[in-house]
Amino acid sequence: MKLFEKYAKLRQKTYVTSLITKSVVGSMALENQQVPEAQVNAIVTALLQETELRGRPFE
């Protein structure tokens, strides 16, 4: 069984974005660095869009 067959949600951009955002916010909190979740979410979204503009589609 392949990864995407077992975890179909990994193909959803919104799910992956929220997963990365929560992970980064949690890691920053462990280092006593409070970063607004909305700001991290905006950065993650911008990076995904930039990657897609460079020709690598989200799959």
Question: What integer pLDDT is reported at residue 28 of this predicted model?
Answer: 95
Q: Could you tell me if 58 and 52 are in contact, meaning their C-beta atoms sit under 8 angstroms apart?
A: yes
Per-residue pLDDT of the chain (59 residues; tens, 9 = 90+): 788 788 888 889 999 999 999 999 999 999 999 999 999 999 999 999 999 999 988 87
Give me the numbers of helices (H) and strands (E) for the chain, helices first please.
Answer: 3, 0
Backbone angles phi, psi at 50, to 5 degrees: -60, -40
pTM for the model stands at 0.82
Distance CA 14, CA 19 (A): 9
Question: What integer pLDDT is reported at residue 52 of this predicted model?
Answer: 92
Residue 2, number of CB atoms within 10 A of its CB? 6
